[in-house]
Amino acid sequence: MTALRLDGVSARLGGRTVLRDVDLEVPDGARLGIVGVNGAGKTTLLRVLAGVLRPSEGTALIADGRGGLADLRRLPARERARRLAFVPQEDVVTAELRVGEMVALGRVPQTRPWARGGRAEYELVRGALDAVGLAGRIDTACDQLSGGERRRAVLARGLVQRCPVMLLDEPTNHLDVAWQLNLLEVFAAQAQTLVATVHDLDLALRFFDLLAVVGWRDDNTGPAGIVAFGPPGEVLSAAHVESHFGVGSVQVPHPQRPQLHLLIHPREDRSPA
């Protein structure tokens, strides 16, 4: 079963082709991490998968809930928001809203017009805020939250959408180490399929079951695409990390846990004598 699929997708921004010829299949139930250097096109890829950015060529598809796939471009926005929740990297949070009110906006696609409010919605909002450690801040004005708290509140808005597919752009930005781990687990527990961009390659190695590297193809020119895809242990091999990120690396087992960690170091030819 496929949750999301891109067929021959290219994407343009500001009159320039940023991504070209991207084929991607996200299996139902997968945790897919998108990694790559700054400016490679991770956010652009995620926005295409979310149906927010229209491909200039090719097709972006989402499971239609009946065993088939639907063209994201043809899906009305409300319908799309019932199937997937997209939490962008930077989100403007209106200062006039309380935290609970802002999070409740995530319920709009799931409810009939004028049918919002009430106990059930309150419980959902409270549950989502609890999951991100902000239950006590439900009545706080949004502009009184710290950067990391605001990030968690915006992620809670994604949680209350209760969608089978969740797309998160750099969800761990601004978060302390405990919340980085915790929040990804919260989303993985709720979403059937999770796709997230991350910069922390060690976290990427441990948390996801599939990784896609967005980068430039061999000649290093032209638009970017997906240059590696597969299980994290293979995608983050020393050779791949060196060629796609320009650093040396080694995967080492944790001394007390059955998990691998990625240690990063300068490339051999750049290390001090």
Ligand X SMILES: Nc1ncnc2c1ncn2[C@@H]1O[C@H](COP(=O)(O)OP(=O)(O)OP(=O)(O)O)[C@@H](O)[C@H]1O
End-to-end CA, the chain: 52
36 belongs to the binding site for ligand X (CB under 6 A): yes
39 belongs to the binding site for ligand X (CB under 6 A): yes
80 with 110: CB under 8 angstroms? Answer: no
DSSP H or E segment with residue 10: strand 2-13
Out of 14, 68, 76, 272, the only residue in the binding site for ligand X (CB under 6 A) is: 14
262 belongs to the binding site for ligand X (CB under 6 A): no
Out of 42, 83, 137, 240, the only residue in the binding site for ligand X (CB under 6 A) is: 42
Residue with nearest beta carbon to ligand X: 14
232 belongs to the binding site for ligand X (CB under 6 A): no
| Nearer CB in complex with ligand X: 57/101 | 57
201 belongs to the binding site for ligand X (CB under 6 A): no
172 belongs to the binding site for ligand X (CB under 6 A): no
102 belongs to the binding site for ligand X (CB under 6 A): no
Which is it for strands 2-13 and 165-169: parallel, antiparallel or unpaired?
Answer: unpaired
Cβ atoms within 10 Å, residue 177: 10
Q: How far apart are CA 246 and CA 23, in angstroms?
A: 25
Which is it for strands 210-215 and 225-230: parallel, antiparallel or unpaired?
Answer: antiparallel
4 belongs to the binding site for ligand X (CB under 6 A): no
Q: How far is the CB of 45 from ligand X (least distance, A)?
A: 7
